[in-house]
Structure 1
Amino acid sequence: MRPLRRLLLLRHGKSDWADGSVPDADRPLSPRGRAACRLIAEHLTADQLAPDLVLCSSARRTRETVEQIAGALPAAVPVLTEDRLYLADVSDLLDRLRELDDGVPTVLLVGHNPGIHALATGLLPVGERSRLPTFPTAALAVEDLAVGRWAELGPSTTRLVSFVTPRSLAGSSSH
């Protein structure tokens, strides 16, 4: 049985550093980043990981990540692009998630390291935290809440359902 609340944590795809004059917030995805997002989109579809809401950093690379996985998202899913999520630290991410309406069962948060990794590990029980040793670009952690309300989210309040990286998905496909 699926829990009442599920959190999908996605780090943006690899960004393009070719033009050093581009401000950080305006860096686009690289071709490798777009390819990685396609793998994540296939995984979201295959595992039926459809969010009811998407929270996205305002950075170009996170917005493009959402665009690349859009085919795996429900057609009418709201996407909230928020400046406060750009390079947000773990406490800011947690504050934002605690504001969610309890009527939203599954949320996809698309953000940046180190905040997204710190959030993903910090929500897990201490004994499970080592299951997320790194959080490369386009990695996706799926965590189920062990608490009943978003406002109760905090340390050790989730359990890890799955963790995939583009490399692990590419290795498991028929490519």
Structure 2
Amino acid sequence: MHRLILMRHAHAEPSTPAGSDSARPLSPSGRAEASLMGRVLAERGLKPDLALVSPATRTQQTWELMHKALGNVKARNMAALYNASAKTLRHLVESSEDEAGCLPVMAHNPGVHVLATEYLRESAASPAALERLSAGFPPGAAAVFAVHGASRCTYEGFLTPHAIGTHA
């Protein structure tokens, strides 16, 4: 793997009639965010060949909308990604690193945020990068890392629909 994209699903509805957290769909603004993020990743040449996606409705919908801009990408729905800890996410990334050149992982907070912060610290990222991520990991956001041998990640950027939308 040469590129890792840790991503949180886009904005979801606050609840469902059934009350199940995993069944919450994207909100209208979340649908727009997901489409925007797919276009931006494609424009930046971040073309995945495998995606790991949580089975929650909001992550599935986020991926489907992004997938339209990214082309033919194999997606692996993984129950272990639903509300996964940073430790679980890291294990899933490491166990998939030989299968993909560019790997997006579509999951949930706080695990995504914690793992992105861990990778930043491990790579001795700049204080500005750490500060930017310390403000949170909003819905639809993506942390992009270059991956070097032995799963060593170097920070490349943090994309949010809000920041991109104001500059698109």
Is TM more than 0.5 here?
yes
CA distance in 2, matches of 1:42, 1:119: 24
Provide the residue aligned with 1:132 in structure 2. Answer: 133
Structure 1 residues 117-148: Cα deviation after superposition (integer angstroms, max 9, x where no partner): 111111122443333121100001110113x2
Provide the residue aligned with 1:65 in structure 2. Answer: 62
Provide the residue aligned with 1:118 in structure 2. Answer: 114
CA distance in 1, matches of 2:19, 2:159: 30
Choose from 24, 28, 35 the match for 2:25.
28
How much has 1:37 moved relative to structure 2?
0.8
Percent of aligned pairs sharing the same letter = 34
Matched, 1:107 2:103: yes
Structure 1 residues 102-126: Cα deviation after superposition (integer angstroms, max 9, x where no partner): 2521101000000001111111224
Choose from 141, 144, 149 the match for 1:142.
144
Provide the residue aligned with 1:74 in structure 2. Answer: 71
Provide the residue aligned with 1:53 in structure 2. Answer: 50
How much has 1:20 moved relative to structure 2?
5.7
CA distance in 2, matches of 1:105, 1:21: 39
Secondary structure of the 1:158 match is strand
What letter is aligned with 1:61?
A: R
CA distance in 2, matches of 1:18, 1:24: 7
Instruction: Select the structure that is richer in helix.
Output: 2
Unaligned runs of 5+ in 2: none
Provide the residue aligned with 1:170 in structure 2. Answer: 165
Aligned length: 162
What letter is aligned with 1:135?
A: F
Unaligned runs of 5+ in 1: none
RMSD over aligned Cα, in angstroms? 1.6
Structure 1 residues 55-88: Cα deviation after superposition (integer angstroms, max 9, x where no partner): 001111000000111112232x210001010000
Secondary structure of the 1:102 match is coil
Provide the residue aligned with 2:16 in structure 1. Answer: 19
CA distance in 2, matches of 1:19, 1:115: 23
- TM normalised by structure 1 equals 0.86
Q: Runs in 1 of length 4+ with deviation above 4 angstroms? A: none
CA distance in 1, matches of 2:156, 2:111: 20
What letter is aligned with 2:41?
A: L
